[in-house]
Structure 1
Amino acid sequence: MTLTFNWFLPTNGGDSRNVVGGGHGVEAGPAGRPATVGYLGQVARGAEQLGFKSALVPTGAWCEDAWITSAMLSEVSERLNFLVALRPGLMSPTLAAQMATTFSNLSGGRLLLNVVTGGESAEQRAYGDFLDKDARYVRCDEFLTVVRRLWDGERVDFAGEHVRVEGAQLHHLPQVRPEIQFGGSSPAAGTVAAKHADVYLTWGEPPAAVAEKVRWIRELAEAEGRTLRYGLRVHVINRDTSEEAWAEADRLLAGIDDATIAEMQAGLARSESEGQRRMLALNGGSRDNLQIHPGLWAGVGLVRGGAGTALVGSHEEVADLIEEYQAAGIDQFVLSAYPHLEGAYWFGEGVLPVLERRGLWKRPVAQVSTR
């Protein structure tokens, strides 16, 4: 199976030559490149020219709004899809289905949805959402049930524990139905993913742990009579030689002081996210022993919430590790680097040609601009 590669738009505090910390209830760290339309447009255009399929646009109190950002950047790009992070419960399912339909239809089908249930109750309360984590997953299930039925063209009456609509119907259906991507490591997350996701996303744990997660979700999906695809969200540091790549990892680590690590680790430890707990366990809050699998480095997670690991090595070595993840069941990757603009080129011009030669990736056919 041909692999798919996606990039990341750094709206969560901006971009930098150093690791930008924050996320999961922790404030974003300093960045030298603000998340402007001009700069993010450079990242988006670079990604699509290099052959990335889409760009993940994150959500959270520390991010620019994902919908507005994506809508603006769709006008400065031509082929790139936008994987828009969406939190159920902050809007009605009818409005979400309508917004997604509008974006998809007006952009030529360039929308995917990354459904984020919300792992931090304090942040959810700031948005007016006072459900606990378990209840948020129940609501997410109900929310996606309504959205999918609306996209099917149904007139929906639905009364659940947390979602209720009467006579809901879309007058315009999506010409290209947006793909739903969903992540989560808790049992409740697995249940929702199995019922509703097209792609299950997980963070960059060692390949054996990722393979176990894939088996877990695959069994749940089979019980629902469904087949999913599987993606990995991870950073990447690739260079012409292994020595250069690890020197860059060392430089990034040297740019993080001990006080910042202690502060960020304490904040991230308060997260309710099971996935975040697993990320913290990989780095142990220490600068030592951060290579947790050959070529997999846990240094990013010392100060950044969410995806906290990076693929590190020469272009060939990173391609080898990607093949390990493919063997574990992964067929698509959501990648990022510091800085994101240069990182896209390092990967796009370094690793993608290696994978293309191996028959594991096919460059998308360039579209002729109509602008």
Structure 2
Amino acid sequence: MSIEILGMIATTAGSESRRLDGPLVDPQYVRDFSRAHEAAGFDRVLIGYSASAPDGFAVAAAALHATDALKVLIAHRPGFVAPTIVARKLATLDHLTGGGRVAIHHISGGSDADQRRDGDFSAKRDRYRRTGEFIEVLRTALTAAEPFDHDGEFYRIQGGFSAVKPATDAGIPIYFGGLSDGAVEVGAAYADVYMLFGEPLADVAERIAAVRAAAAAHGRDVEFSLSTRPIVAATEDEAWAKAQRIYEETETLIAQNATGNTLAFTAPAQREEVSVSADLLQRHARASDVHDERLWLGITRLTGPSGNSTAPVGTPAQVAEALLKYYDLGVTKFLIRGFDPLGDVVQWGDELIPLLREGARLRDEASALQPA
């Protein structure tokens, strides 16, 4: 297997525990944040999506032009832009930024209120089918050597064709997330990478098995990504004390937001509808604040259904080993973002990321020595 480390960039500083600081779109912060990820050894960064956030394609272009090799993962919500147009946007950006650095992450859910801000009043049960059809047309547009027609439930194309194709043979990797039955079917049928939240190990093993079985029915293999929020310090006691400070800071900020005394932080919209993924995280949080020795769900319980919020806590070596247990289950891509977004990226580059890569390498070597 091959491990890949993903981060997440934003256009201004802030998190659940930190007050938003600066203009909504801060070009220098985007450049600094992107370069920090590259210097720390990240492979790729996610640009989140919501109906009120800055445009992800523009942010991705800024990040790509500020770095030499860092790749991007652009979150996109099907239903508002035709898949043929998105295909040309992706392929054009791929060519303009050196080739092989652009991927897309499809979000089918999000809250109904956020969907409606962009004029989408569709039912959730329809969105996953629409996403599957969107990806089907997107792939065709990115690869078809001749004009094509498509007559589906959500899209009708006559003579569709993109003169611009991806810049490399690797194409445009397609990421996807969601845990409802409809989501699993779409992700298994169409995704290259299936994105999972940081649930306890046993639950992630079940998710992987279910998706693999569904993908096998389509004659496909799917890779897996896991999203967590590492909290790292020199000693384990210091790490748990840091987690407690983050909890208290978040609690204070929530109270200030409720009274209108500070700028609110809006969690990046990479989640599906609350009733499935986020609700599962809430169930885990209600059961216990800590799972698998160091997977902390205190912020998950405090902030409610807000997507990626589970945090492995400990020394760099302890957190790396906790994450590598997911690698043993088949997760090859780890999306990590911090509560101190820029500071954590710099810190992780010193120890956590090298330890993750070395641990994966040692596991791969040991696996290669095992009899077939």
TM range (shorter): 0.7 to 0.9
**273-282 or 314-323, which deviates more:** 273-282
Partner of 1:15: 13
Contact 1:290 1:299 (8 Å CA) reproduced: yes
* Change over 3 Å in CA distance of 1:361–1:255 after alignment to 2: farther
Report the residue type matching 1:300 in the other structure: I
Aligned with residue 139 of structure 1, among 107, 130, 133: 130
| Aligned mate of 2:102, from 108, 111, 121 | 111
3-state SS of paired residue (1:311): strand
1:31 aligns to what SS in structure 2? strand
Deviation at 1:16, TM superposition (A): 3.4
Count of residue correspondences: 345
Distance 1:228 1:60 in 2: 26
Question: What are the residue-to-residue correspondences of 1:1-371 with 2, within 5 Å?
Answer: 1-11=1-11, 14-16=12-14, 19=17, 30-34=19-23, 35-108=25-98, 109-153=100-144, 154-176=146-168, 177-257=171-251, 260=254, 271-284=273-286, 289-301=288-300, 302-303=302-303, 305-358=306-359, 360=361
Q: CA deviation at 1:198?
A: 0.5
Distance 1:101 1:297, change over 3 A: same
In the alignment, residue 81 of structure 1 is paired with which amino acid? Answer: K
- Amino acid across the alignment from 1:53: D
The structure carrying a bigger helix percent of its residues is 2
Identical residues among aligned pairs (%)? 29
Distance 1:186 1:58 in 2: 21
- 1:279–1:307 CA contact under 8 A, matched in 2: no
Cα distance in 2 between the residues matched to 1:49 and 1:361:
23
* SS of residue paired to 1:209: helix
Distance 2:128 2:360 in 1: 39
TM-score normalised to structure 2 length: 0.86
Aligned CA RMSD, in angstroms, stands at: 2.5
Q: Aligned partners of 1:358 and 1:5: how far apart in 2?
A: 13
**Which moved further from structure 2: 252-261 or 171-180?**
252-261
User: In 2, Cα distance between the equivalents of 1:217 and 1:278?
Assistant: 17
Deviates more, 1:223-232 or 1:296-305: 296-305
The range that moved more, 272-281 or 222-231, is 272-281
In structure 2, stretches of 5+ residues that fail to align are 259-263, 364-372
Q: How far apart in 2 are the matches of 1:295 and 1:257?
A: 21
Residue 125 (structure 1) shift: 1.6
Secondary structure of 2:46's aligned partner: strand
Note the C-alpha offset of 1:354: 2.2
> What is residue 27 of structure 1 aligned with on the other side?
none
Change (3 A) 1:87 1:251: same
Q: Deviations over 1:75-106 (max 9, x none)?
A: 21111111000111110011011101111111
Unaligned runs of at least 5 residues, structure 1:
21-29, 363-371
Structure 2 vs 1, CA of residues 328 and 33 (structure 1 numbering), >3 Å: closer, same or farther? farther
Q: Is the 8 A contact 2:39 2:349 kept in 1?
A: no
